[in-house]
Amino acid sequence: MNTNLRDAMYCIISAFGFSIWPVLSRYATTHYGSASSAWTALIVLGGAAVMNIAFNSSGFSEIPDRRVLMILGVAFVLDATAIVLYTALLGGKSSFTGLMTANIILQVVFTALSGTLILGEPMTKRKLIGYAFGAIASWLLLGEPVKETPLTSTELETTQ
């Protein structure tokens, strides 16, 4: 398979998985009973870790350099903290889709910024504009809820 096509498929499928698992988690806990953040993390993320090890077991043949292990340790602490906070959001009472969408947007912005700061990728005007739009979108999604009722289908038709 063409590498570009494979990478595009991996990108689309992983984006779908990352975006749909919290929705399924919220659906399950609002329709069939509660589950703590610990249970959510154990089943979803623990299962993902086991699956990843099973599919990549040949990658354990060499032990990486200690500097690599130290940096990966920092990455682990950051990721573990993010996972704890992210799974806590799943049980919150805030606007679920607003929070999850803002989280995904901020992940994109932080990934791009860290690519510039840590990996030395070039900063362009286009990227800066993208960061600004991401920040604005997140700010709008995370802002105070507006105290108004949602538009009805009739009101939506008249605004078009």
Q: pLDDT value at position 149?
A: 65
Residues 46-73: pLDDT tens digits? Answer: 888 888 888 887 777 788 889 999 998 9
Is 67 in the same domain as 80? yes
Q: Do 14 and 86 fall into the same domain? A: yes
Residues 82, 117, single domain; the answer is: no
Which residue range(s) make up the domain with 136? Answer: 94-147
The separation between CA 131 and the C-alpha centre of its own chain, rounded to angstroms, equals: 16
Asked if the structure places residue 98 within a domain, the reply is: yes
Residues 17 and 73 in one domain: yes
For residue 122, the model assigns a pLDDT of 92
* pLDDT-flagged residues of the chain (< 70): 1, 92-95, 144-151, 155-156, 158-160
Whether residues 80 and 98 share a domain: the answer is no
Give the pLDDT of residue 67.
92
Cα–Cα distance for residue pair 123/113, rounded to 1 Å: 9
Residue position matching structure tokens 């990486």: 64
Same domain, 100 and 77: no
Cα–Cα distance for residue pair 41/56, rounded to 1 Å: 21
Same domain, yes or no, for 54 and 99?
no
| E strands present in 45-140 | none
* 155 assigned to some structural domain: no
Please tell me the predicted confidence (pLDDT) of residue 146: 55
pLDDT of residue 118: 92
Residue 22 included in any domain: yes
Same domain, 71 and 107: no
Q: Would 160 be classed as within a structural domain? A: no
Structure-block tokens of residue 61: 């043949």
Structural domain count of the chain:
2
